[in-house]
Amino acid sequence: MVTYWTTCFISMALTWVMTHIKQRHAVYFMVIAAVLASMPLIFISAVRDNVGADYITYYRYYVDILNGGGRERFEILYYLLNKVIAFFGADPIWLFGAAAILFLVPIYIRIMRDSPYPTVSVFLLVGMTYYFYFLNATRQMVAAAILFFSIPLIEKKNFWLFACFVLVAAGFHTMSIVFIFLYFLVRMNFGVKSLAVLTIIFFVFSQTIGSLGNAIFSQMTYYSAYLDSAYADRGQGYIVLAMNILITIFCTVFYDKGNTLFKIYYTMQVVSLWVSALTGTIVLIDRFRMIFGLADIILIPMAIQQIHNRWLRIGSIIAIVLLYFIYASYTVGVQNSNMVLPYQTVFN
C-alpha cells in the first residue's frame, strides 16, 4: 500500500498546485492540468505487471490483437483502442497507460471544475477504492469516467449531447447505457422526502425487486451466464451498505438546495444506495454502484462546504480522510480486494 498512498499524496500535491494557478479556468489549461495532476496514478497503472484481477485477461487480449486476433466479446471502442495501439506494435504498457488516461483525466477535469476541495476529491478517488477497482475492471471504469465527465450536460439540459456521451461510454462497457435514466430522474425533480420514500421501498421490497430483476436479466444471453457462476453466491456487503447510508444522511443534512450540480451528484448517490440495497439479490448489480457512486468524490466535498462552522468543517474533513484511509488500507492492504497487491512493475 505504500506505493499507492505515496502516489496518491503526490497527486494531491500536484492537484493543489494546478488549482492555484490563475489561468486554470481556460479549457486548454484544464486538460493539461488534469494530465499533470493525475500523472503519478497514470504511471503506476501503466507500468504494473500482473496487478489487478483482470490484468491477465486484458494483457492476453491485447497480445492476441497484436498477433492479428479479432474483436471477440469486448465492446467496439475498447477493441478499437487496442487496435490503434497494436497498429504501432507498442508494448502493453501503452495500452494500460492509455486506459489510465481515459479514466483519470476526465475525472480530474470534473474534480478541478466542480469540487470545492479538489485535493480531498483526489484522496477519495483512492480512499473509496475506485482507483483500485479501475486496476481490475478497466473497461467499466473508463466508461464510468466518460459518464462522470458528461454530468454538466444534465445541468444544461442538453439531452442529445449527453446521450452521445452515454453511447461512447457504452462502447467501452455495455452496462453504461442505464446511465441515460439519470437524466430523466433528475428532471422529475424529486425532493429529498420523495427520494427517501423510494429508498425505503427499495429496502423493504429488495428481495421481490431482486427476483424480478434476475428473471428479466436471465433472458439476456450475456448476463444469464453469470446466474450460475460464483458471482451469484456473493452476499450483501454490509460495510459498503452502511457507508452508503451514512454518506446519504450526511449529504442530506448538508444539502445545498440552490445548487443544481449538487442535486445531480446527490441523485447519483441515492441511486448508489438503491443498488447497495439490492446487492446480493441481483447478480452483478454492485457494478452499477461503481458508476453512480463515483459521484461521492465530489458530492462529499460539496456537502462539507455547507458546514458553516470552520472548525466543524475542518474536523469533518479530517474524520472522513482518516476513515477512508483505514477503509482502503484494510480492504485493499489486508483483504487484497481487486488483487492489486503485491504491486510489481514491468521493470522488476
pLDDT band at 215 (very low <50, low <70, confident <90, very high): low
Contacts of 61 (CB under 8 A, 6+ apart): 69, 72, 74, 82
Question: What span, in angstroms and rounded, lies between the C-alpha atoms of 87 and 95?
Answer: 12
Residue 104 has pLDDT above 50, yes or no: yes
Beta carbons of 195 and 270 less than 8 angstroms apart = yes
Residue 337 has pLDDT above 60, yes or no: yes
| Range from 126-130, 198-202, 209-213, 231-235 that averages highest in pLDDT | 126-130
Locate cell 473497461: which residue?
Answer: 139
Average pLDDT of the chain, as a whole number:
87
Distance CA 170, CA 167 (A): 5
Cα–Cα nearest to 146, from 126, 128, 172: 172
Inter-CA distances, 116 with 113, 185, 299, 302, Å: 8, 25, 10, 6
Average pLDDT over residues 289-311: 93
Q: What is the mean pLDDT of residues 93-121?
A: 96
Q: Looking at residue 277, what is its pLDDT?
A: 77
In the block, which residue shows the cell 450460475?
A: 228
pLDDT of residue 103: 97
> Grid cell 461512447 — which residue?
168
pLDDT value at residue 212: 72
Q: Evaluate whether 82 touches 98 at the Cβ level (below 8 Å).
A: no
Q: What pLDDT, on the 0 to 100 scale, is given for residue 213? A: 65
Q: What is the pLDDT of residue 279?
A: 74
The stretch 198-204 carries a mean pLDDT of: 77
pLDDT band of residue 146 (cuts 50, 70, 90) is very high
Grid cell, residue 113, equals 471544475
The pLDDT of residue 226 is 52
pLDDT digits (tens, 9 = 90+) for 269-293: 999 888 887 776 666 677 788 899 9
Q: What is the pLDDT of residue 232?
A: 45
Q: Which three cell numbers stand for residue 6?
A: 505515496
Q: Structure pTM?
A: 0.91
Element (H, E) at 238: helix 238-253
Distance CA 207, CA 87 (A): 49
Instruction: Give the count of alpha carbons within 13 A of 171, CB side only.
Output: 14
Condensed to tens digits (0 to 9), the pLDDT of residues 159-179 reads: 999 999 999 999 999 889 989
Residue 60 has pLDDT above 70, yes or no: yes
SS3 24: coil
Q: Report percent pLDDT > 90 for the chain.
A: 60
